[in-house]
Amino acid sequence: MILKNERNRLAFRFGRATALRSASDVVDQLQAQLEAERKQHALNIAELERQVATLLKDLLQARLELARRNMVDAFASAPSPSAMTH
């Protein structure tokens, strides 16, 4: 594009500079929003990992309790050692 007079060239430069500043502001806003979303995502992941760890702990405790009950039941149903000596 050929601008014939100085006033048109100045207006074009001003418009271009304004557009660049506006685009730069939008990029800055988007980068800030992305950073905030990344932080929130990290917090969400940490909370989910905490919940999974809690559930795994509860599951292991339940398995341990079942194993203990099975062991008690096995001993209770086993014949007496004194009866086996005869």
pLDDT given for residue 83 in this prediction: 65
Distant-in-sequence, close-in-space partners of 52: CB < 8 Å, separation ≥ 6: none
pLDDT given for residue 86 in this prediction: 53
Domain count, the chain: 1
Contact 12, 3 (CB under 8 A): yes
CA distance 64 to 62: 5
Domain residue limits at 62: 6-76
Residue 28 lies in a domain: yes
Contact 58, 50 (CB under 8 A): no
Residue 1 lies in a domain: no
pLDDT given for residue 85 in this prediction: 63
CA distance 14 to 11: 5
Residue 69 lies in a domain: yes
pLDDT per position as a tens digit, 17-60: 999 999 999 999 999 999 999 999 999 999 999 999 999 999 99
Residue 18 lies in a domain: yes
Q: Give the position of tokens 């050692």.
A: 81
